[in-house]
Amino acid sequence: MEVKKRRGRAAVVVLGDIGRSPRMQYHALSLERQAHFEVDIVANGGNDPHIAVLQNPYIHLHPMMSIKLHWLSKISSSLALLVKAITQFLVLMWYLCYKIPRPDIYIVQNPPSVPTLAAVKLASWIRCSKFIVDWHNFGYTLLAISHGRSHLIVKVYHWFERFFGRMSDGSLCVTKAMQHELAQNWKIKATVLYDQPPEFFHCTSLDERHDLFCRLQKGINCANAIRDCVSIGSEEPINANVATEKESLSQTIFTTQQHDCLLPKPHRPALVVSSTSWTPDEDFGMLLEAAVMYDRQAAAALNEDDSIDEEKLWTDIQSGHQDLYPRILFIITGKGPEREKYEQKIQRLKLRRVAFRTMWLSAEDYPLLLGSADLGVCLHTSSSGLDLPMKVVDMFGCGLPVSAVSYSCIRELVKVGNNGLIFSSSSELAEQLLILFRGFPDKCNTLRQLRDGALATGLSGRWSTGWEQHALPLIEEFISDA
């Protein structure tokens, strides 16, 4: 096998969890595979990146320790922010100037901007390297969510971000709207590099779905903790024998194995997936309200009243009874500060045809879940209104249609009636669920049309193609062939 000569070295810098920074992982893979660079990733430790990154011999991880000053925050939040920024700056300088070999180029994720942009700029000057900023959003707009745009800290952050952003040698950004904002108001020339799904986001085969749901079965059934339309009938006997174990591997809530043949269950629930960082810029209360509305309106359409016995309803569903409107299982993936708050709200809901599960999936299982779902829901609104949700890109890569909350530039990605729908309220989302899942799984033509459109969108562009067209030329301006 021919070993390609390394053309140079690049450092990918993320002041955050690299396992939760997929775009920067894709940069690292493209720098190695398409530009033939040796790559160092400097990022906070945490969740593992994709196995393609971990097993690549030319990509080297340099995990930093996350800095938490909870004790100081109780005394003064402003002082804690200052001390944290100074400490992070010193740690970054240690890694960027000493721990890693000299790179030809630094590519840094923004946000966060403080102190990352200053540290990378200084390191690039000391080591005579080039400095590229990949603009995912604006840090000052994220800070403004909790402090307000008129706050002094937000104004200082805005100045810092703009000042050091203009000192970069080159810039990438995620939308045309952000490119325009950077050019008009920041005097920064940026190249648009849309998020695109890599090759490991694809439609999931029935075998892959069955294996996935066998692995997730315990988390989905939750027999000992939750009793709802999904967990009912899933209890296993205390002294499970070998036959029972084999049976559990041949049956999931979505699939069944008959002899050597795998089949989707005809009375399976509809699967809706939403991924999140559980942050304030995503209002999951809207999704919960829509779920309640769907539950109530489906019951009304079926002439059910509050006197109906839930246990009997769930048992009938498990035995194969199929109504005009199906059960819906919402799986919400991700980690973040507001997860526990919403989990408590979910537990207080009284739902008959709707169930919720929250979980964290590995980088390998997440694409499989998207490829197994029937609909994706996106509640990302963007603090700046200028970035696009990568989760929707991933969903399209798996042929999954999307219902997305409306904001200024979302139509750059979601084409209404083609690959998805857009909503502005919980009632709109509930109405979309009723329309899309009426007659599920075999008689929902609108959902099938959107799936075809999502699949076409996913196949129309992949990360490697976009990176080669837009990012590689920018890098080659600075790096000559060895």
**pLDDT (mean) for 329-338:** 88
pLDDT grade for 244, boundaries at 50, 70 and 90: very low
pTM: 0.84
Least confident of 10-14, 427-431, 441-445, 472-476: 441-445
What 3-state class would DSSP assign to 335? Answer: coil
Whether 8-196+463-476 shares its CATH topology with 206-460 is answered yes
Longest dimension (CA), the chain: 77
Angle of helix 445-460 versus helix 390-397 axis, rounded to 10: 100
Q: Which CATH number fits domain 8-196+463-476: 1.10.3720.10, 3.40.50.2000, 3.50.50.60, 3.10.20.30?
A: 3.40.50.2000
Is 362 or 318 the better-scoring residue by pLDDT? 362
Quote the pLDDT of residue 351: 86
Query: HSE of 364 in the Cβ direction (CA atoms, 13 Å)?
Result: 9
**165 neighbors 120 (Cβ within 8 angstroms):** no
Q: Which of 9-13, 179-183, 341-345 has the lowest mean pLDDT?
A: 341-345
The tens digit of pLDDT for each residue in 357-383 reads 999 888 889 999 999 999 999 998 888
Q: Which residue has the tokens 């946000």?
A: 111
**Would you state the pLDDT for residue 321?**
61
The confidence band for 235, taking pLDDT boundaries of 50, 70 and 90, is: very low
Domain ranges of the chain: 8-196+463-476, 206-460
Q: Which are the contacts of 403, defined by CB distance < 8 A and separation ≥ 6?
A: 375, 376, 377, 378, 420, 421, 422, 423, 429, 432, 433, 436
pLDDT score of 293 more than 60: yes
Q: Is the per-residue pLDDT at 468 higher than 70?
A: yes
Distance CA 421, CA 399 (A): 14
pLDDT at 239: 43
φ, ψ dihedrals at 85, nearest 5°: -65, -40
Q: Which amino acid is at 456?
A: A
- Closest listed residue to residue 450, CA positions, set 405, 407, 415, 404: 415
> Letter for the amino acid at 129?
S
Q: Which residues pair with 263 in a beta bridge?
A: 256
pLDDT at 61: 96
Amino acid making up residue 346? I
What pLDDT digit, counting tens, does each position of 123-162 carry?
Answer: 999 999 999 999 999 999 988 888 888 888 899 999 999 9
CA angle 295, 449, 211 (to 5 degrees): 70
Kind plus residue range of the DSSP H or E element containing 238: none
Mean pLDDT within 297-304: 80
Q: Report the C-alpha gap between 271 and 100 in whole angstroms.
A: 45
pLDDT at 234 over 60: no
Look up the CATH architecture of domain 206-460.
3-Layer(aba) Sandwich (3.40)
Quote the CA–CA distance of 123 and 144 in Å, as a whole number. Answer: 29
Give the mean pLDDT of 251-259: 83
Residue ranges of E strands in 104-245? 105-110, 130-135, 170-173, 191-192
Between CA 315 and CA 155 the distance in angstroms is: 58
pLDDT of residue 236: 46
